[in-house]
Amino acid sequence: MESHHIDSLDFHTARALLQWQVELGATEACLDAPVNRYETPKVAPKPAAAATGAAEPPPVQPKTDPVEVAKAAAAAAKTLEDLRAAMAAYDHCDLKRGARNLVFSDGNPAARVMLIGEAPGRDEDREGKPFVGRAGHLLDRMFGAIDMARAAPISAQSIYITNVMPWRPPQNRDPEAEEIAMLKPFLERHVEIVAPEVIVLMGNIACQAVLGRRGITKMRGIWHEAFGKPVLPMVHPAYLLRQPQAKRDAWADLLSLQAKLRDLA
């Protein structure tokens, strides 16, 4: 039979030829090369990202540990000015974003006694100093009763004050454990630089940060040790404003502090 090229066949001729092959028993078309029907089909490789224009996913960045960042920043501080600058540059605590001011310290850095409070309140946040307002005025009267003051130029009669948290928590809520943990390296370095003889912890948050536990009404008046220093927990002046009957215990604690300083002299 004379073969015809497919392009030269008209529709009716091509149909007749196909019908003739079907009548002969043909069931499928033959290709130019044999096909192995049992062979696993090959999957075409995916095009490279550069060829398709798709951007490669960014490499996974290691997670930042806020506590380790704080430890490194605090360790690098050699002076109180360095430490204040390091704390101001620390961006891993969200409290910083809602506070007006960094509340660093007040008083005489050469003082024998270092007071550690909890966190700034509204007045402290506004003025940038710890223990101002009603609680601060009561604190000054308390220590004035044993001839000590934050403004005293003589170290034996002066006190130095800071807080666990340098920024005010919103609505004066208690700082969270994670917030205390990330700021504690700065507190530890603060104590190292000032090198006081005695530390007074004012309130529950200070006890939690330094001694690892709360319960100020049971802990107050009992000497502990932390940072290699004698530590005396006392109730916060704000508590005394709400519970004036506790002032007798606070007076006993002040006398205990005065006796400790005499023993260390």
At 34 the pLDDT is 64
pLDDT at 2 over 50: no
At 139-152, the pLDDT tens digits run: 999 999 999 999 89
What separation in angstroms does the CA of 40 have from each of 37, 43, 46, 124, 213?
Answer: 8, 9, 18, 76, 68
At 178 the pLDDT is 97
pLDDT at 3 over 50: no
pLDDT at 216 over 90: yes
* Lowest-confidence pick of 14-18, 48-52, 110-114: 48-52
Mean pLDDT computed over 90-112: 97
Specify the 3-state DSSP secondary structure of 187: helix
Dump strand ranges (E) for 61-145: 106-107, 113-117
Separation of CA 45 from chain center: 46
At 21-61, the pLDDT tens digits run: 767 766 666 666 666 666 666 666 665 555 555 567 777 66
At 1 the pLDDT is 46
Q: Return d(Cα 128, Cα 126) in angstroms, integer.
A: 6
Question: Of 220 and 15, which is predicted with more confidence?
Answer: 220
At 13 the pLDDT is 73
At 52 the pLDDT is 55
Residue with tokens 């690892």: 212
Contact by Cβ (8 Å): 163, 103: yes
With 0.95 as the threshold, say if the pTM is over it.
no
Query: Residue-wise over 33-71: b if at least 16 C-beta within 10 A, else e?
Result: eeeeeeeeeeeeeeeeeeeeeeeeeeeeeeeeebeeebb
pLDDT at 4 over 50: no
End-to-end CA distance of the chain: 126
Contacts 24+ apart (CB under 8 A), 90-94: 90/186, 92/64, 92/66, 92/182, 93/66, 93/167, 93/179, 93/182, 93/183
Query: What letter does residue 158 receive in the DSSP assignment?
Result: B
Give 208-230 as a DSSP string: HHHHS---HHHHTT--EEETTEE
Question: Of 98 and 19, which is predicted with more confidence?
Answer: 98
Contact by Cβ (8 Å): 191, 227: yes
Mean pLDDT computed over 170-193: 97
Query: What letter does residue 57 receive in the DSSP assignment?
Result: P
Domain ranges of the chain: 66-264
The number of residues making up the chain comes to 265
Mean pLDDT computed over 102-107: 98
Q: Return d(Cα 254, Cα 191) in angstroms, integer.
A: 21
Q: Return d(Cα 220, Cα 223) in angstroms, integer.
A: 8
Mean pLDDT of the chain, nearest integer = 89
pLDDT at 104 over 80: yes
Domain over 66-264 is classified CATH 3.40.470.10: yes
Percentage of residues of the chain with pLDDT beyond 90: 75
Mean pLDDT computed over 98-115: 97
pLDDT at 224 over 80: yes
At 244-261, the pLDDT tens digits run: 999 999 999 999 999 999
At 63 the pLDDT is 83
State which amino acid sits at residue 80. L
Dump strand ranges (E) for 142-219: 159-163, 198-202
Rg of the chain on CA atoms, in Å: 39
Specify the 3-state DSSP secondary structure of 255: helix
